[in-house]
């Protein structure tokens, strides 16, 4: 039992904040499956999109297990970048090379 508890706490302590852009990233099977895997590993997964509304994002996010409180529609790429930084995201997956370049050490192209 002690090992199970330690494994749980180790998983929790090693958890990271990871975000995905929606269109062209999380909306694709590759992004969806990666997000699902990262959640199963104990990470906190967010969707941070340049869309102006979360409409059309919520159902797919729910199907993956992402909480509605971790979904942001920022209205622009500049605001998306600011939100990633504000939330202290460790890794952000995006299909926009300009966004990735604006997040050195954090942004990953998908």
Query: What would the 3-class secondary structure string for the chain be?
Result: CHHHHHHHHHHHHCCCEEEECHHHHHCCHHHHHHHHHHHHCCCEEEEEECCCCCCCCHHHHHHHCCCHHHEEECCCHHHHHHHHHHCCCCEEEECCHHHHHCCCCCEEEC
Tell if the pTM clears 0.75, that is, is over it: yes
Quickly state the pLDDT bin for 15 (edges 50, 70, 90): confident
* Domains of the chain as residue ranges with CATH: 15-109 (3.40.50.1000)
- Specify the pLDDT at position 100: 98
């Amino acid at each position: 039992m002690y090992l199970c508890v330690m494994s749980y706490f180790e998983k929790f302590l090693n958890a990271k904040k990871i975000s995905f852009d929606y269109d062209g990233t999380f909306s694709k099977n590759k992004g969806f499956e990666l997000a699902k895997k990262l959640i199963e590993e104990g990470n906190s997964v967010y969707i941070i999109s340049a869309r102006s509304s979360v409409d059309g994002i919520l159902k797919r996010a729910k199907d993956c297990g992402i909480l509605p409180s971790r979904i942001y529609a920022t209205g622009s790429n500049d605001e998306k970048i600011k939100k990633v930084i504000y939330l202290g995201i460790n890794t952000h997956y995006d299909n926009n090379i300009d966004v990735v370049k604006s997040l050195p050490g954090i942004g990953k192209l998908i």
